[in-house]
Chain A
Amino acid sequence: MNLLISLTALGVVAMFGGILKFRSMVMPLSVLGLIGASLLGVYAWNTNQSFLNDMMRMDNYAIAFSIVCMAGTLLTILFFHFFHSENEIHYAEAVALMLFAVAGCAVMVSFTNLLMLFLGIEILSLSLYVLAGLRKKDLLSNESSLKYFLMGAFSTGFLLFGIALLYGATGSFATTQIAYQLGIAGMNGMAAMGLLLLMIGLLFKVAAVPFQFWTPDVYQGAPTIVTAFMATVGKVAAFAAFLRLFQLCFAPSKEGYQLVIGTVAAITMLAGNIMAIYQSSTKRMLAYSSIAHAGYMLIAVMTLNASSNGSILFYSVAYTLASISSFLIVMVVQQNRNNDTADDFNGLGKTNPWIAFALAVSMLSLSGIPATAGFFGKFYVFSSAVSDGFIWVVAVAVISSFISIYYYFRPVIAAYSKQTHDPVMTMPAGTQALLILLSLLTILLGILPGFIAGII
């Protein structure tokens, strides 16, 4: 709870930083505040306390995912600070919105009542709608913001109708009561309908096929730094909430819907990876790749056993590290060469060897090559699915991973084997060091995966 209060207070401070003109203090304050909030989380580890009349519980699951989201936010804020120009008028407000969004993440990963799930999702989403439209005069940013808003509000309608039906069937919003009532009465028609609508709402939020159509446009149109934030922090929190809801409420009746989620996961992986091949813009390619990764993570939601929590946590960490650094590299390339097709990566290995190294590591991790974190992320998810007998889903997942190698390697091959006459790329100081740090963390987790996967 202290964690949540400090995050919200931090957001308010950052917002006043914009109004009262102490913008230069905003970045250091929010970085320190995020580190402090993470320490508060670590301090509350293993305490398992409930708050607000049992509406949220800060268990280890909630703390671990809150810390992952805060780390993602910290990185985004740092990079935003590096890349913002002096005439960026909404700098402090954007940081404040990111902090509010991460407060929403903390609510939605720690709920034990559906009201908190709804509020958390809305706090996160409302901040993201505004962030997507950060560039007010840029038509692409406008379009992305409106599409995200309309689709997000539409999916909230489904989520709420599902919650209402579930309330009608069980008479409570508390997850323990819902699980108890469903255990006594079984899934009746109203509860099953509620579960279906709730699932549709959440599948919209995590961008799984067939509810993924908004993702590429929104991710491409939003400012790249915001895209990095949405694709990592937003997605990780949505998945954590999805898994938590199913673990707390619907785990005993999982045979009834596993096939549905498995099919959605299989189609999502295949569609995301195949569509990604046809994209010329690397940013749009990464948007489709984030759809494919939603498919891989859905496998862990489908299996829903004791190891799901750990495997989805590891997957989230690996995905966040690799995604943030690849979006950042795309941003560097966009700024230097005004475009982000694979050809714009030509000769990067010669001109900027360290950036090319970070690009290679993050792409290897996203495609799941051994000795990177992405490999163990996929390994944990797939192995628990195999041990539960879902061979066909894992077969589809492995095939689509092979497809993904083709498009992930396109910029890497361009960087190392093609020539260019363009000058060395310039970027703000500190970017390169942070990118190298992210790559080293990815490799470290690929060699020593144990100390995150077994933590919850």
Chain B
Amino acid sequence: MPNIFQTVPLIHFVYLSALLFCIGVVGVLIRRNAIIIFMSIELMLNSVNLLLVAFSAYRQDPPGQIFVFFIMAVAAAEVAVGLAIIIMIYRNIRTVDINELSRLKG
């Protein structure tokens, strides 16, 4: 166990990343701008990265940090696809407010 965990206990990292995750979830649920929702999702993913790195350092076990690299790579791919989708919509309706997108109803 590295020294850092004697000054900052592991559980604080868990609380911090849980808090960041919750901020992300609330952001997705209450914001209406597609870009901001997207930023909130990125916040959720990064809170996971923080948690994984903390656990990995605590256990001195590299796979946790390798997982973080994969999350970063996939998040980058997701950004590419997501921003392309948002731009496609902006070109058609000139807004990224998701309240404008309610044509599909039963």
List A residues at the B interface (Cβ < 8 Å): 115, 118-119, 122, 126, 129-130, 133, 136-137, 139-140, 142-147, 149-150, 153-154, 156-157, 160-161, 163-165, 167-168, 171-173, 190, 216-217, 220-221, 275, 278-281, 284
Contact A115 B41 (CB under 8 A): no
User: In whole angstroms, how far apart are the Cα atoms of A167 and B48 in the complex?
Assistant: 11
Q: Are A160 and B85 in contact (CB under 8 A)?
A: no
Hey, which chain B residues are within 8 Å of A153, CB to CB?
Answer: 38, 41, 78, 82
| CB proximity of B60 to chain A, nearest CB, Å | 10
Complex formed: what's the CA distance from A393 to B85 in Å? 40
Take A119-B70, A161-B44 as given contacts and tell me if A126 and B77 are in contact as well, using a CB distance cutoff of 8 Å: yes
Give every chain B residue within 8 A of A136 (Cβ-Cβ): 88
Could you tell me the dominant secondary structure of chain A's interface residues? helix
Chain B residues with CB under 8 Å of chain A are 14, 17, 21, 24-25, 28, 34, 37-38, 41, 44-45, 47-48, 51-52, 55, 59, 61, 63-64, 66-67, 70-71, 74, 77-78, 81-82, 84-86, 88-89, 92-93, 98, 101, 103-104, 106
Q: Which of A129, A149, A275 has the most CB of B within 10 A?
A: A149
Q: Contacts A143-B104, A217-B104 given: A126-B92 contact, CB under 8 Å? A: no
Q: State A160–B74 Cα separation when bound (angstroms).
A: 12
B89, A142: Cβ atoms closer than 8 Å: yes
With the chains together, A331 CA to B68 CA distance in Å? 43
Q: Which residue of B lies closest to A193 (CB)?
A: B18
- Among B14, B41, B78, B101, the residue within 8 A (CB) of A146 is B101
With CB as the reference atom, state the residue of chain B lying closest to A190.
Answer: B14
Determine whether the beta carbon of B82 is less than 8 Å from that of A149: yes
Contacts of A150 in B (CB 8 A): 28, 34, 37-38, 41, 98
Give the complex CA separation of A145 and B104 in angstroms.
Answer: 12
A279 to B105, alpha carbons, bound, how many Å?
10
The secondary structure that dominates the B interface is: helix
Closest B residue to A137 by CB, please name it: B92
Q: Which of B38, B61, B67 contacts A171 (CB 8 A)?
A: B61
Contact of B93 among A139, A161, A165, A275 (CB under 8 A): A139
Cα–Cα distance between A168 and B84 once the two chains are bound (Å): 35
Determine which of A118, A146, A279 lies in contact with B98 in the assembled complex, contact meaning CB atoms within 8 Å. A146
**A162 shortest CB reach to chain B, Å:** 9
Shortest beta-carbon distance from A419 to chain B in Å: 28
Contacts of A280 in B (CB 8 A): 106
Instruction: Please measure, in the bound complex, the distance between the C-alpha atom of A281 and the C-alpha atom of B14, giving whole angstroms.
Output: 47
- Sorted from nearest, which 10 A-B pairs have the closest CB atoms? A157-B44, A217-B104, A160-B48, A168-B55, A164-B51, A143-B101, A153-B41, A122-B74, A142-B89, A164-B52
CB contacts (< 8 Å) of B51 on chain A: these are 161, 164-165, 168
Q: Which residues of chain B have C-beta atoms less than 8 A from A119's C-beta? A: 70, 74
Q: A118-B74, A139-B103 are in contact. Are A157 and B24 (CB under 8 A)?
A: yes
Smallest CB-CB separation from A164: which chain B residue?
B51
Q: What are 15 A-B residue pairs whose CB atoms fall within 8 Å in the complex?
A: A115-B67, A126-B78, A129-B82, A140-B103, A142-B93, A143-B101, A145-B85, A145-B88, A147-B101, A150-B41, A157-B21, A160-B71, A164-B17, A173-B67, A216-B104
Give every chain A residue within 8 A of B88 (Cβ-Cβ): 133, 136, 142, 145
- Are A216 and B106 closer than 8 Å at their CB atoms? yes
Q: Are A133 and B67 in contact (CB under 8 A)?
A: no
> Chain B nearest CB: distance from A204 CB in Å?
12
- Cα–Cα distance between A139 and B104 once the two chains are bound (Å): 10
Residues of B within 8 A of A279 (CB): 106
Which residue of chain A is the closest to B28 with respect to CB atoms? A154
| A167 & B101 in contact (Cβ 8 Å cutoff) | no
B59 and A171 contact, CB distance less than 8 A: yes
What B residues does A143 contact at CB under 8 A? 89, 101, 103-104
Q: How long is the Cα–Cα vector from A147 to B84 in the complex, in angstroms?
A: 14
* Residue of A whose beta carbon sits closest to that of B64: A167
* CB of B87, distance to nearest CB on chain A (Å): 10
Given contacts A149-B85, A157-B44, 6 further A-B contacts (CB under 8 A): A118-B74, A144-B104, A146-B89, A154-B28, A160-B71, A221-B103
